[in-house]
Copies of this chain bind each other. A is one copy, B any other.
Amino acid sequence: MLSIRIQEDDFDPGLIYNLVGKDRKDIGAKVAFTGLVKDFFELEEVTSLYIEHYHSMAKTQLKNICQAALERWQIKEIHLVHRFGLLKPGDNIVNLVLASHNRSDVFQGGTFIMDYLKSDAPFWKKEFNRKGSAWVNQSLADIQKMDSW
């Protein structure tokens, strides 16, 4: 099962985590990943983070990335949510839950999806603090992580 949502509204990572695979008896391993707004990154003392996105392409790309993971590993369920709009430090940005027979499939599948999402999904972050604002730059480390697959 593959569920992908792109939304402005918040979500509840714990609630999603508990719902994935509920009542199934063939799930031996689940992994959740949540990306959150930090109060520092390119700027210090970040007061808010704006996430812009290219909606139609983002939906296609997230689906492609998840499909690639489903083909590569034994994964029973993938639930992915990515937010856009104006967020604050501590807010949820992205949430991924995978369920499978085995732990290595969910750990590897989860790492793979997040690595590709960071380099292939059209979302952009702009940080704001009291002094001004700055678009976040793509990190070389993120490109290398994707290329390592």
Contact = CB atoms under 8 A, between A and B. Distances in A.
B36 A33 contact: no
Contacts of A18: 12-14
A60 interface: no
Contacts of A28: 35-38, 41
A17 to B, nearest CB: 5
A56 to B, nearest CB: 26
A130 interface: no
A24 to B, nearest CB: 7
Give the dominant DSSP class at A's interface.
mixed
A29 B110 CA distance: 13
A13 B106 CA distance: 16
Interface residues of A, number: 39
Interface string A25-66: 111111111111111110000000000000000000000000
Contacts of A89: 25
Contact of A107 (B12, B38, B111): B111
Contacts of A79: none
16 contacts: A14-B17, A17-B17, A17-B32, A24-B90, A25-B39, A28-B36, A28-B38, A29-B36, A31-B31, A31-B32, A31-B33, A32-B32, A104-B145, A107-B107, A107-B110, A107-B111
